[in-house]
């Protein structure tokens, strides 16, 4: 076979493979502007995610976690009023009512529905620390259902999941999990021990919403 033809054919095939990869993962490229520059030894990039933290002013931690993730992915973060207004008028998948109710808050299972309204596909799952690390290292955004009292070292029931946070990083060497936690004034890049996070997260059965 002519060597020039062989080189041309190989080059064309390689270009086609690159084009195919770009075509099948456009969302990942757009959704992961933060994942490419992860600090050494860190799963995720807490510093890059931190600017999207906002403090909640109602029982809307789920909505605020979704807004944080939308901001990280699109650069256009909805404010608290607009996202709760959307959640109040959007049917959920549980209970037959809207996603958000001021008294009862938001069922964790409804967060993928809310994310979908912003064009973001996600999955509800049960995971573990290894799974979280893999999601973060691949640039996926993760919302975890947790127990707030455990995270904040507050009194009260520490055996029930009652709060949602964005997991932005895991530093196994330091034994620290990084969070964007809308429920506390110091929640921007909040840092808790692995043991504290595991207990808090375990109250939900280690449930997460992961952006696909």
Is pLDDT at 49 greater than 90 in this prediction? yes
pLDDT: is 12 or 134 the higher one? Answer: 134
> What mean pLDDT is predicted for residues 171-176?
97
Burial zone of 180 (CB within 10 Å; 0-12 exposed, 13-18 middle, 19+ buried): buried
Token readout for 114 is 């809310």
Residues 53-109: tens digit of each pLDDT = 999 999 999 999 999 999 999 999 999 999 999 999 999 998 789 999 888 889 999
Token readout for 207 is 């449930």
DSSP state for residue 77 in the 8-state scheme: P
pLDDT: is 212 or 201 the higher one? Answer: 201
Beta-bridged to residue 101, according to DSSP, are 105
Is pLDDT at 17 greater than 80 in this prediction? no
Q: What is the CATH number of domain 32-211?
A: 3.90.70.10
Say which residues have a Cβ less than 8 Å from residue 30's Cβ, sequence separation at least 6.
Answer: 73, 74
pLDDT of residue 102: 80
């Amino acid at each position: 076979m002519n060597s020039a033809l062989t080189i041309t054919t190989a080059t064309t095939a390689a270009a086609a493979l690159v084009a195919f990869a770009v075509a099948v993962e456009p969302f990942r490229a757009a959704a992961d502007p933060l994942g490419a520059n992860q600090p050494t030894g860190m799963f995720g990039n807490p510093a890059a995610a931190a600017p999207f933290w906002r403090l909640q002013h109602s029982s809307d931690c789920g909505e605020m976690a979704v807004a944080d993730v939308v901001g990280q992915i699109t650069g256009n973060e909805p404010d608290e009023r607009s996202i709760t207004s959307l959640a109040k008028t959007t049917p959920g998948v549980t209970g037959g009512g809207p996603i958000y109710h001021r008294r009862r808050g938001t069922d964790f299972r409804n967060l993928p529905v809310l994310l979908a309204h912003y064009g973001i596909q996600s999955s509800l799952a049960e995971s573990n620390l290894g799974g979280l690390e893999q999601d973060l290292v691949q640039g996926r955004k993760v919302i975890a259902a947790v127990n707030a009292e455990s995270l904040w070292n507050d009194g009260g029931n520490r055996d029930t999941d009652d709060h949602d946070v964005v997991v932005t990083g895991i530093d196994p060497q330091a034994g620290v999990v990084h969070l964007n936690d809308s429920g506390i004034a110091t929640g921007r890049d909040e840092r808790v021990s692995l043991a504290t996070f595991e207990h808090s997260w375990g109250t939900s059965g280690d449930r997460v919403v992961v952006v696909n």
